[in-house]
Amino acid sequence: MKLKNIQLCLIAMTCMLMTSCYTAKVANGNIGITEPTVKVNSKKNHFLLWGLVPLGETQVAKDYVGDRTDYTTENTWTFVDGLLNCVTFGIYSPTTTSYYVPLGDVKK
């Protein structure tokens, strides 16, 4: 019984630690990372072998932000992405990329 409690605690701690495992934010153009932005799109990326081999076409930011030169991209490894990576031992490694534009740049 004591071993089951320890295992349950370890699983719970692992899940909590994986909620925001990896996030990389990159600013493009004349915009700062801390500037207020609005999310315009999000895309799931599919990779094999720990992210070394992309599956399908690679996305181009222009498809999501249009002709804007100032935008921010954020690549995130969500809990589900990390779980799939762990379950497949790194063979399948998905990530999620979100695109943001400055708050004043949003068309009404």
Q: Is 67 helix (H, G, I), strand (E, B) or coil?
A: coil
The length of the chain in residues reads 108
| Distance, CA of 45 to CA of 58 (rounded, Å) | 8
Whole-number pLDDT of residue 20 = 54
Whole-number pLDDT of residue 70 = 83
The tens place of each residue's pLDDT in the chain, 108 residues long, gives: 677 778 887 877 776 665 556 777 888 878 877 788 888 887 888 888 877 777 877 667 767 777 778 888 888 887 777 788 778 887 888 888 888 888 766 554
pTM of the model: 0.66
